[in-house]
Amino acid sequence: MNKKNILLGAFSIAIFSFTACNKDNDYLNEDGTVNIEKAIEFNVDFADYNEDQEVGVTRVSNKEEKLQQQMVDLGNGVLAQCTLQRDTTKRPKSTTRAIPYGTYTMLAYDVSDNSLKGEITGIVNGSIFTPSYKNSKSIRLIPGKTYDFVLFNNFVIRNGNQLKVTRDNNTDRALIARTRKTISSTPYDQKISFTLKRAASKVRIKISSYESLEHAAITTKFYLDDETGLPGSSIYDASIGEWGMGDDRTSALSLQYIPYSFGGTETDSWKYYTMNKNGDHNTADIIFTPGIDVSKLKLTFTNARFYGQPIANNITFKFNPSQTLKFEENGSYILNVDLKYNFVYLMSNGEVLPLKDIPNNDGTKKPIAIVISKSRRMAVALKDLYGPNVTTRWWMDNRKNVQTNTHYYDITRFVGGTYMEFNEVNTSGRDETWDPGFSTGNVVGDKVKGRNPDFPAFKAAAEYNPGIAYTGGQSLVWYLPSISDWKIAVAVLGKVNQELKLFNAEYNFNKGFANTAFARKRFKNIVSFR
């Protein structure tokens, strides 16, 4: 009995080994090469724009989220801080994983010399590439060697090793995948996995402004720096896996502002707008072919009006990254055009600088106030006294109905048949805060309101601390502004240029323009205007 069982077991093992060897032999050609159409299963996945890029905090140098930042002077005091960065928006995988059905071609290259070793066509259905039984060509590979495999669909034009993608309506439908595999000497049950990527790059221009942009007031043009238009195609060298620009050109791409907000709500003080292709209200994406050298691109504002100011025509933003940068396949980018006004600021070292001259990372000088009058040496602090959610007490109850100031005006008084003009009110809050002569005998204790706790608003203003050490020599004098001081502030910050009256008059204070002065994109704190 035992002898029979042993013989039966040995016989079974022999049959199994013989069957497995026969299966391997089915995939081997007479010359010892592997017939990969039969020996290998080809799995296919799909990565949407930027899905395959690392967007965390640990990036290598050429994968930084922010790729370039440059301040462009648009004229008439308007600045555009242009930032080219990767679009890190993640799409739900349920909307990005579908792989287009259709005919695909696969090429195989020997890694040792980049020589083409064969090609086959087939169908991608679901997540599997199935070689066609009608293939007149095949791929025979030597076991133990390493190969690069390239898979692409029929929106890619092939000429030998060159795969061409043209810039047209089908650009982002062109798909290419590349992977590397060492072929096993026992080819049975091998797998090769591809991740298809779009053979396209897309750029979205986003304009950021603190006030609504004027409709139909902005047009721009994208083109190469030699003004020959835009690259009409890109060439992928399948043998080495590198992209380059094609020689053909398409016309420069004109863009116009489409009046709808993006990424914000009507209550936001900071608005976002997009630039679209002319006549295209459905997408803000500008499609490029991969491999375009970003340093060769220009964006020109051909017509625009920002913050009520017309800008000079043909103001150009020239891309100038710190290192060689090419638009990548599957790459998605945003060009943020952050509109600012070139306000003048008092720095912590005593310098007075316009916004465009303020260094980003200079620890020796930081802005602490916005200058509203150089001749009067007046500036407005860049942050609130106690923060955004804390209010200042204006008076003590024991002084609520007591006359404590010597200088005041009847705002309802008529002068020449009209209400009193602002220009009749010329006392400064500096005097009210620091001059004891501006206090009546009813003031108990220190006549300087900036030091008297009975006047908490004056005292808080006088003791204001910008949070940054001032090294500019003569000490700064902080004070509570008077109505005549505010006349200057609203004219500079709110563009209120009419002759101001104190009573029964309405004025259009441009809050959006004022907010640019305290730009939260540049400064940590914002003054609240109430």
C-alpha 199 chain-centroid distance:
22
pLDDT of residue 141: 92
Whether 213 contacts 234, CB under 8 Å:
no
254 beta partners = 221
413 beta partners = none
DSSP three-state, residue 3: helix
CA 69, CA 79: separation in Å to the nearest integer?
13
CA 74, CA 314: separation in Å to the nearest integer?
9
Token representation of residue 215: 């409709």
Alpha-carbon dihedral sign for residues 489, 495, 497, 502: negative
Each domain of the chain, given as residue ranges in start order, spans 1-27, 31-341, 344-517
| Residue stretches of the chain with pLDDT short of 70 | 1-27, 52-64, 90-97, 135-136, 187-188, 211-218, 256-284, 312-314, 386-392, 395, 409-425, 497-505, 519-530
Whether 96 contacts 379, CB under 8 Å:
no
What is the residue-wise DSSP string for 65-125? SEEEEEEEEEETTEEEEEEEEE--PPPPHHHH-PPPPEEEEEEEEETTTTEEEEEEEEEEE
Whether 424 contacts 399, CB under 8 Å:
no
Block residue for tokens 């465009």: 356
